[in-house]
């Protein structure tokens, strides 16, 4: 084989690799930008089942800095796989557990998850502690489970007088010591569940 032909092969390989790496990223950006055509509108709201207005605005900059920017909107909103400019009014609830299986297993054993199974729908779901669109690693100052923000995250429910009254028996203040001891993942560490030690 001539040297020129060898070089051509290398070039072809490099081009192929570039196409493989660049195309999905580009498609992803297109998918998400279609969502933002409507969901970057701060006025966009829906009315939920109990008649409350819920904002449908997603902040692009905060989203792009979040841990999930790479999985794109449809990574979680899986019933929107095929991108159209309009979609159904009601979408399937998001399952964090589909990707975070190990954490989900720990969570399913927690008191919060037990309560949801008993029908206490306003107990803590993953997104109540981590957020929906602006999820960051716990070391990030904007993470809701950053030690600086954790008390506020738990206290949204646990220090809400009406909420505590409605859920008799729950702690009316979740102090940092208890947070660690009782948090779903803290418990897992105590029991030594494999893979949870770093959570």
Interface of this chain with ligand HEC, residues 121 to 150, rule: CB under 6 A: 122-124, 126-130, 132-133, 135, 137-138, 145, 150
Q: Which residue from 59, 62, 100, 187 is in contact with ligand HEC, where contact means CB under 6 A?
A: 100
Determine if 188 is a binding residue for ligand HEC (CB under 6 A): no
Phi, psi for residue 54 in degrees, rounded to 5? -120, 130
Pull the structure tokens for residue 105: 């297993």
- Six-digit token string for 3: 């040297």
Q: Work out the widest C-alpha separation in the chain, in whole angstroms.
A: 82
Closest CA to 35 of 129, 133, 161: 133
Binding of residue 184 to ligand HEC (CB under 6 A): yes
Does residue 46 sit in helix, strand or coil?
Answer: strand
30 binds ligand HEC (CB under 6 A): no
* 89 belongs to the binding site for ligand HEC (CB under 6 A): yes
Comparing CB distances to ligand HEC, the nearer of 3 and 118 is: 118
Phi, psi for 47 (deg, rounded to 5): -105, 125
The C-alpha atoms of residue 69 and residue 53 are separated, in whole angstroms, by 26
Binding residues for ligand HEC restricted to 42-71, rule: CB under 6 A? 46, 54, 56, 58, 63, 67-68, 71
Please report how close the Cβ of residue 148 comes to ligand HEC at its closest, in angstroms: 12
Taking CB under 6 A as the binding criterion, the range among 6-14, 19-27, 35-43 that sits at the site for ligand HEC is 35-43
Report the residue count for the chain: 199
Give me 2's structure tokens: 């001539």
Q: By CB under 6 A, is residue 74 in contact with ligand HEC? A: yes
Q: Which residue, 6 or 171, is less far from ligand HEC as judged by CB?
A: 171
């Amino acid at each position: 084989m001539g040297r020129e032909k060898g070089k051509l092969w290398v070039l072809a390989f490099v081009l192929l690799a570039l196409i493989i790496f660049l195309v999905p990223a580009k498609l992803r950006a297109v998918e998400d930008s279609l969502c933002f055509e409507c969901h970057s509108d701060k006025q966009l709201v829906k009315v939920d089942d109990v008649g409350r207005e819920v904002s449908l605005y997603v902040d692009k900059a905060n989203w792009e800095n979040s841990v999930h920017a790479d999985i794109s909107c449809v990574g979680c909103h899986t019933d929107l796989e095929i991108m159209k400019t309009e979609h159904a009014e009601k979408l399937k609830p998001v399952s964090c557990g589909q990707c975070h299986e190990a954490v989900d297993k720990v969570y399913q054993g927690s008191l919060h998850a037990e309560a949801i199974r008993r029908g206490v729908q306003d107990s803590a779901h993953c997104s109540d502690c981590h957020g929906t669109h602006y999820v960051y690693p716990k070391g990030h100052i904007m993470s809701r489970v950053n030690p600086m923000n954790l008390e506020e995250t738990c206290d949204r429910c646990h220090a809400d007088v009406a909420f505590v009254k409605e859920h008799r028996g729950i702690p009316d203040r979740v102090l940092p010591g208890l947070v660690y001891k009782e948090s779903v993942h803290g418990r897992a560490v105590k029991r030594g569940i494999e893979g949870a030690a770093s959570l």
